[in-house]
């Protein structure tokens, strides 16, 4: 995969390909898999994403800890009060996937399980809004994958290494790039959307209550999805950012490396260490899940 | 190398790529090294696996892997019931392997049909795993290749003989590793190949008088 947004854009420009075509060609060359087979697998991945959203929106999933489940449906049913319907639906969809994840349902880690709600929510909502077919959504996913690949190589995708900015921040950057692309943005606007989304996620810590991928993760996924759409909106309007995407990605990596361990998925700091969180974990210990064999 | 489906994937049962999908893959690898579904399993969990495995379905994922369920198999949720149906008995214990051990380490002690295997491995992030020890011998297996695990008497010519059999079958080797620090006069070999090694070829290797056992460990998706 490309190691910089700059090299991805240059590759596209010099080869006369679109960004998704450049990502696809690179993947085919590096793995020896036919482009058509890669697209087919991306499409199957999209189906898993859709199914997870649908399951979460039914409102029946509950995590073993009891901390999450049913909130996506509550937001969906309540509907928009302050926001446009698309945004409210996006928030509900992001929460839906994370609730399915917490309940041991089937999800796509994109780029991680803890950030699995962001990209699917954006794809489904923007797909609906712009009336996109699956081919266009597969293109959008290829753009997202190309950006995620750059971040994986330049910074980190793991909350334990770089905090939540590395997980939902990366997902937001992937989503912003995907949306900007399918909404007709230029290559430069795609890069700007990456910078704009990620700058808004810098410094975000990973502090899950009880060490579980539940709270605040479901809400962090919702806010990251919103961040991504906002960044795309601004990039598409021609707003600029003085620091290029690759430098913002590098800064995200640096902030992660300098982040104290308490804020890197250890459940020793942040919200996880709040008095209420500690009481909650005491009151609701996970049911003994080691099983008993006779 | 990062691949597109490391970013748009894996497709997996939640909630954690390391504590659920990776844990399941460790179980699958341990099962493959034993060569059968275990009748008895004792699994020692270290570090974060021991501390936060409860909330991440780690135990279910490991038990599921031991009976052959893949990371995207929804039956992982009911892995305990599935494992009982499969006739496996298991217990989990907590172990402190010290600060040097990877925080997501598990040690498997497995038995089936008179055979046994002791496998140590860790879930190293994003669902990827590394098995570092088999029966006391040092190895490094990630489940990314079709792999042969063999125990042979430590006599000259074993490596050439095995490589000869594989070469004659046109099987291309990616890595080969030998360790004889484990116990008495045996050497454990791990061979990662670019394609599966058929049972027929495995039996040719098993026919060598100095070979104690050989098992094929398939690629784990």
Q: Provide the CATH number for the domain around residue A48.
A: 1.10.4100
Q: Which residues pair with A106 in a beta bridge?
A: B13
- How many Å apart are CA B88 and CA B66, to the nearest integer? 9
Contact B3 A41 (CB under 8 A): no
Domain borders along chain B are 9-134, 144-221
Contact A294 B84 (CB under 8 A): yes
Instruction: Could you please state the CATH topology (level 3) that the domain comprising B144-221 is classified under.
Output: Alpha-Beta Plaits (3.30.70)
**Can you tell me the ipTM of this complex?**
0.93
pLDDT for res B181: 66
Identify which has the larger pLDDT, B43 or B174: B43
Closest-CA residue of A relative to B6 is A111
Which H or E run includes B108? Answer: strand B105-112
Q: Which residues pair with B40 in a beta bridge?
A: B89, B111
- A14 in a structural domain: yes
Note the pLDDT tens digit of each residue in B190-208.
Answer: 999 988 899 999 999 999 9
How many structural domains does chain A have?
1
pLDDT for res B26: 97
- A215 in a structural domain: yes
Mean pLDDT for A124-144 is 97
Which of B1, B3, B6, B7 to mutate: most A Cβ within 10 Å? B7
CA B41 to chain centroid = 14
Shortest alpha-carbon distance between residue A77 and chain B (Å) = 25
Closest-CA residue of A relative to B82 is A293
% of chain B surpassing 70 pLDDT: 98
- A86 in a structural domain: yes
Q: Does the beta carbon of B160 lie under 8 angstroms from any beta carbon of chain A? A: no
Note the pLDDT tens digit of each residue in A26-36.
Answer: 999 998 999 99
Q: Which two tokens stand for residue A19?
A: 């960004």
- A290 in a structural domain: no
Q: Is the pLDDT of residue A290 over 80?
A: no
- A293 in a structural domain: no
- How many Å apart are CA B179 and CA A24, to the nearest integer? 40
| Chain B residues near residue A214 by CB distance under 8 angstroms | 15
- A291 in a structural domain: no
pLDDT for res A288: 44
Contact A109 B90 (CB under 8 A): no
Give the position of tokens 């031991």: B66
Residues 203-262 on A with a CB inside 8 Å of B are 210-214
Contact A23 B4 (CB under 8 A): yes
Is the sign of the CA dihedral A220, A221, A222, A228 positive or negative?
positive
Closest-CA residue of A relative to B11 is A108
% of chain A surpassing 70 pLDDT: 96
Identify which has the larger pLDDT, A16 or B219: A16
Lowest mean pLDDT among A113-117, A147-151, A159-163, B157-161: A159-163
Shortest alpha-carbon distance between residue A23 and chain B (Å) = 9
Lowest mean pLDDT among A137-151, A243-257, B100-114, B172-186: B172-186
Q: Does the beta carbon of A184 lie under 8 angstroms from any beta carbon of chain B? A: no
- A288 in a structural domain: no
Note the pLDDT tens digit of each residue in A159-188.
Answer: 888 999 999 999 999 999 999 999 999 999
Identify which has the larger pLDDT, A196 or B176: A196
Report cis status (omega within 30 of 0) of the bond before A224: no
Cβ-proximal residues to B62 (8 Å cutoff; 6+ apart), any chain: B23, B24, B26, B27, B43, B106
Q: Is the pLDDT of residue B183 over 80?
A: no
Shortest alpha-carbon distance between residue A86 and chain B (Å) = 24
Q: Does the beta carbon of B16 lie under 8 angstroms from any beta carbon of chain A? A: yes
Contact A101 B15 (CB under 8 A): yes
pLDDT for res A268: 85
Shortest alpha-carbon distance between residue A243 and chain B (Å) = 24
Binning pLDDT at 50, 70 and 90, where does residue A43 land? very high
Q: Is the pLDDT of residue B182 over 50?
A: yes
Note the pLDDT tens digit of each residue in A86-95.
Answer: 999 999 999 9
Note the pLDDT tens digit of each residue in B11-22.
Answer: 999 999 889 999
Residues 46-105 on A with a CB inside 8 Å of B are 48, 63-65, 100-105
Of A106, A111, A144, nearest to B11 by CB-CB distance is A106
Which of B1, B3, B5, B8 to mutate: most A Cβ within 10 Å? B8
Q: Which two tokens stand for residue A217?
A: 């993760």
Mean pLDDT for B5-32 is 94
- A205 in a structural domain: yes
pLDDT for res A293: 52
Closest-CA residue of B relative to A214 is B15
3-state DSSP assignment of residue B60: helix
Shortest alpha-carbon distance between residue B200 and chain A (Å) = 28
pLDDT for res B200: 93
Q: Does the beta carbon of A280 lie under 8 angstroms from any beta carbon of chain B? A: no
Distances from the Cα of A2 to the Cα of A99, A154, A224, angstroms = 32, 10, 24
pLDDT for res A64: 87
- How many Å apart are CA B190 and CA B196, to the nearest integer? 14
% of chain A surpassing 90 pLDDT: 86
Residue-number span of the structural domain to which A243 is assigned: 5-283
Mean pLDDT for A272-282 is 88
pLDDT for res B103: 83
Contact B80 A293 (CB under 8 A): yes
Average pLDDT, chain B: 91
Which of A104, A119, A178 to mutate: most B Cβ within 10 Å? A104
A11-20 long-range CB contacts below 8 Å, 24 or more apart? A12/A187, A13/A187, A18/A139, A19/A142, A19/A143, A19/A146, A19/A181, A19/A187, A19/A190, A20/A138, A20/A139, A20/A140, A20/A142, A20/A143, A20/A146, A20/A181
Q: Is the pLDDT of residue B179 over 60?
A: yes
Q: Does the beta carbon of B28 lie under 8 angstroms from any beta carbon of chain A? A: no
Instruction: Could you please state the CATH topology (level 3) that the domain comprising B9-134 is classified under.
Output: 60s Ribosomal Protein L30; Chain: A; (3.30.1330)
| Chain B residues near residue A116 by CB distance under 8 angstroms | 14
Contact A38 B60 (CB under 8 A): no
- How many Å apart are CA B148 and CA B65, to the nearest integer? 19
Note the pLDDT tens digit of each residue in A210-252.
Answer: 889 999 999 999 999 999 999 999 999 999 999 999 999 999 9
pLDDT for res A284: 45
């Amino acid at each position: 995969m490309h190691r910089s947004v700059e090299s991805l854009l240059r590759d596209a420009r010099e080869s006369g390909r679109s960004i998704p075509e450049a990502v696809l060609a690179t993947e085919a060359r590096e793995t020896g898999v036919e482009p058509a087979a890669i697209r087919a697998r991306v499409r199957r991945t999209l189906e898993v994403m859709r199914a997870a959203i649908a399951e979460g929106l039914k409102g029946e999933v509950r995590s073993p800890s009891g901390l999450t489940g049913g909130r996506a449906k509550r937001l969906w049913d309540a509907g928009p009060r302050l926001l446009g319907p698309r945004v409210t639906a996006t928030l509900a969809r992001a929460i839906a996937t994370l609730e399915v994840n917490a309940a041991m349902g089937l999800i796509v880690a994109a780029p991680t399980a803890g950030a699995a709600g962001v990209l699917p929510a954006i794809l489904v909502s923007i797909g609906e809004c712009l009336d996109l077919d699956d081919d266009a959504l597969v293109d959008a996913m290829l753009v997202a994958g190309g950006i995620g690949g750059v971040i994986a190589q330049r910074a980190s995708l793991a909350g334990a290494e770089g905090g939540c900015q590395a997980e939902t921040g990366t997902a937001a950057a992937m989503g912003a790039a995907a949306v900007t692309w399918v909404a007709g943005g230029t290559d430069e606007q795609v890069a700007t959307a990456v910078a704009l989304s990620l700058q808004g996620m810098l410094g975000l810590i990973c502090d899950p209550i009880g060490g579980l991928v539940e709270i605040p993760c479901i809400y962090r996924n919702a806010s990251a999805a919103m961040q991504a759409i906002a960044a795309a909106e601004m990039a598409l309007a021609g707003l600029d950012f003085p620091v290029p995407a690759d430098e913002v990605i590098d800064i995200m990596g640096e902030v992660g490396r300098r982040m104290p361990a308490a804020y890197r998925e250890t459940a020793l700091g942040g919200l996880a260490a709040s008095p209420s969180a500690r009481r909650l974990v005491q009151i609701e210990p996970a049911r003994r899940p080691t099983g008993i064999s006779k | 190398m990062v691949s597109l489906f490391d970013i748009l994937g894996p497709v997996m049962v939640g909630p954690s790529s390391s504590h659920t999908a990776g844990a399941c893959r460790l179980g699958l690898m341990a099962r493959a090294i034993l060569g059968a579904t275990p009748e008895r399993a004792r699994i020692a969990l270290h570090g974060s696996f021991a501390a936060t495995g409860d909330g991440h379905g780690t135990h279910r994922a490991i038990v599921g892997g031991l009976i052959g369920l893949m990371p995207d198999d929804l039956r992982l949720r009911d892995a305990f019931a599935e494992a009982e149906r499969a006739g496996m008995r298991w217990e989990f214990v907590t172990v402190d392997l010290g600060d040097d051990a990877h925080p997501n380490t598990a040690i498997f002690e497995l038995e089936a049909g008179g055979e046994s295997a002791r496998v140590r491995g860790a879930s190293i992030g994003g669902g990827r795993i590394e098995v570092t020890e088999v029966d006391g011998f040092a190895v490094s297996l990630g489940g990314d290749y079709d792999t042969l695990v063999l125990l042979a008497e430590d006599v000259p010519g074993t490596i050439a003989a095995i490589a000869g059999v594989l070469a004659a079958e046109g099987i291309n080797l990616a890595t080969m590793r030998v360790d004889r620090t484990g116990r008495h006069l045996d050497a454990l070999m791990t061979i990662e190949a670019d394609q599966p090694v058929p049972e027929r070829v495995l039996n040719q290797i098993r026919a060598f008088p100095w070979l104690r056992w050989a098992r094929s460990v398939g690629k784990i998706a």
